[in-house]
Structure 1
Amino acid sequence: MTQRSILPSSLLSQTDTDEACPSFTKLNFHNAVVGTELDVRLMLYTWRDRNCAQLISSTDLGHLNVTKKTTFVVHGFRLTGSPPVWMEVLVQSLLSVEDMNVIVVDWNRGATTVLYFRASSKTKKVATVLKEFIDLMLVEGASLENIYMIGVSLGAHIAGFVGKMFDGQLGRITGLDPAGPLYNGKPPEDRLDPKDAQFVDVIHSDTDALGYKEPLGNIDFYPNGGVDQPGCPQTILGGYEFFKCDHQRSVYLYLSSLRENCSIIAYPCDSYRKYRNGQCVTCGALHKESCPLLGYYADNWKEHLKKKNLSITKAFFDTAEKEPYCMYHYFVDIIIWNKNVRRGSITIKLKDKAGNTTESKLNHEPTTFQKYQQVSLLARFNKDLDKVALISLMFSTDNIIGPKYKLRILRMKLRSLAHPERPQLCRYDLILLENVETSFQPIHCSKLQL
């Protein structure tokens, strides 16, 4: 196929065309200091050529099958000029779940600079390149509905600009911690917006620094409230990781969704505080409504949004410190016998017969326990123990000076949100001494009558 190029020659790389397997542009900090001119390279990976990219252009679509789904991966600002460490894994993971075209949008020459605003100023130019390339795809028979864009940081806004150029008819855009600096407070035409595609999902992992805080999609996911991701350095002593870890976590959470051993469930809610207090667990296996899934399969919730006539939904969840990041949610229902009201928090540990253990602090703020009133506390564990053999509870009021209190429990019940078919585990008539761990073997609730 030969066609006249409709892409600006100054923006398309003519280098590396003789490479057997072209790779992502590698630059260094020197390039970032002196600056680089924008040069966009489109590298195609397919199921057939998943380990060897093809440079594609307006005159040669290569092995691009326009009848298949095409996923564009767009990176963001590159301070040091090095290739994104996650790029290859993301490409391979996408190809492992679906036979599609994956196009890596390499605009490293342009994104590499010590001056962030310079990279930001080039985002709409990159979007224009992609728009003109998609125009070519459409001429060859592609469908806008089959186009999916994954944008990271500045790349999320690039995806939004492309979507606007097609009047929001792209199939889907995923924004992975869209850039906040220079975009916070901007009108929809100058940033990613829910109307930029038929479905827009966003993961916010660094809202207090490099990421965008407010909702930008049809559904916006806020892991750990959107700030201070577990496992990331909390002080500058962590070096460069202190600045980028929270921001990059959105990418790694998305990658987890492409693995078979981790489906991260999120809970629609008005705020992270309400979620943590167990006030928003109104979906899932215990209910008739399904919960949204984070990442690649988030668009399964698109029909739910339509039925509910929802344009914007915020969803919250917690994660573990390291891959695969999944947390497993349980409710712990407690009724006390205490004559006096008690305020405090409870820590619960689970152990199976093999000796595997997992722990959760049930309430991030003090809970009020009143006589004969059930309190349902949301527990999050980083391990999913199928058969719990031992449960440990510890009650605390966080009093350093003063009397040690007791909490007498009439009934404690443990129930899994993800696996409601599992037997609910109970313990009756139990006394907790403050700051003393109390362990017991639970029994199936159905075996006893209150």
Structure 2
Amino acid sequence: GNVDFYPNSGHDQPGCDPVSIGIEIIDDIGEGGRDLAACSHDRSVELFEDSLGEPCPYLAHECIDYDSFEQGRCASCNEDNSACAFMGIHADQYTAKTRENVRMYFDTDSKPPYCYYHYQIVIDTAHPKNAEDWVQGHLTLWLYGDNGNVIEKVQITRDHERFDHGQPKYFLLTSHVDISRVIRVEAHWEYDDTLTNPGSYCWMLL
């Protein structure tokens, strides 16, 4: 085929763990393992069925691997849209018919509706001469779309996220909220300094 889709890396699907599907895998390892495998395998059918009536487009992006996709480094569809494709009922709309086995990634929720909208966040910090080379902390965003929808108070960083001054940092944000085109962003930065890591202090050099 032209495109190979890999939801959530293509391996174990969210919601297909022993706790979520309610099995005691310790008591019956063989049967429990089969239930887990069946859950992830059957998810492909559920995703396709979900695409039939779901307004969310199930848009997948071409990427070299899933780790790079999760880091927010594969957001462009290219000018000819050859780096993006719809999974599901609209997969036949893929434009680059001459390409084969293109690896496309997307994330889903653990339960219906599964479809997420994907947003690339790029934080590009300045590098003033009188600042440390890097800082760390927590970044929370509010994203406002031109359709009136808002993604509210989402923390895009992990604990003790490091930002190197002068170097762009990429994030992938998934949400059920469609904000179309982002027209405004509000950001809250919580600085994180640790006594065990003096390099995290934001010294002002005079």
Tell me the TM-score range normalised by the shorter chain.
0.5 to 0.7
Question: What is the TM-score normalised by the length of structure 2?
Answer: 0.67
The DSSP-based 3-state class of the residue aligned with 1:266 is strand
1:15-51 Cα offsets, whole Å, 9 max, x none, are xxxxxxxxxxxxxxxxxxxxxxxxxxxxxxxxxxxxx
Partner of 1:324: 113
- Give the distance between the partners of 2:75 and 2:104, measured in 1 at CA: 11
C-alpha displacement at 1:380, in angstroms? 1.3
The DSSP-based 3-state class of the residue aligned with 1:279 is coil
Gaps of 5+ in 2: 24-31, 194-206
C-alpha displacement at 1:335, in angstroms? 3.4
The share of aligned pairs that are identical, in percent, is 29
- Give the distance between the partners of 1:326 and 1:261, measured in 2 at CA: 9
- Give the distance between the partners of 1:349 and 1:234, measured in 2 at CA: 34
Q: 1:289 aligns with which of 52, 56, 80?
A: 80
- Give the distance between the partners of 2:191 and 2:91, measured in 1 at CA: 44
- Give the distance between the partners of 2:71 and 2:157, measured in 1 at CA: 7
Contact 2:163-2:169 at 8 Å conserved across structures:
yes
- Give the distance between the partners of 1:237 and 1:258, measured in 2 at CA: 25
C-alpha displacement at 1:280, in angstroms? 1.5
Q: 1:304 aligns with which of 93, 96, 104?
A: 96
Ranked by relative contact order (alpha carbons within 8 Å, sequence separation 6 or more), the top structure is 2
- Give the distance between the partners of 1:236 and 1:382, measured in 2 at CA: 21
Contact 1:359-1:381 at 8 Å conserved across structures:
no
Contact 1:229-1:246 at 8 Å conserved across structures:
yes
Gaps of 5+ in 1: 1-199, 201-217, 387-418, 436-450
1:100-120 Cα offsets, whole Å, 9 max, x none, are xxxxxxxxxxxxxxxxxxxxx
Aligned residues: 175
- Give the distance between the partners of 1:245 and 1:432, measured in 2 at CA: 39
C-alpha displacement at 1:243, in angstroms? 3.9
- Give the distance between the partners of 2:185 and 2:151, measured in 1 at CA: 18
Q: Which structure would you say has the larger Rg? A: 1
What pairs with 1:414-425 in structure 2 (closer than 5 Å)? 419-420=180-181, 422-423=182-183, 425=184
Q: 2:57 aligns with which of 263, 272, 275?
A: 263
What pairs with 1:19-418 in structure 2 (closer than 5 Å)? 200=1, 218-234=2-18, 238-239=22-23, 241-283=35-77, 287-290=78-81, 291-301=84-94, 303-306=95-98, 310-336=99-125, 339-342=132-135, 346=139, 348=141, 362=156, 368-384=162-178, 386=179
- Give the distance between the partners of 2:161 and 2:8, measured in 1 at CA: 20
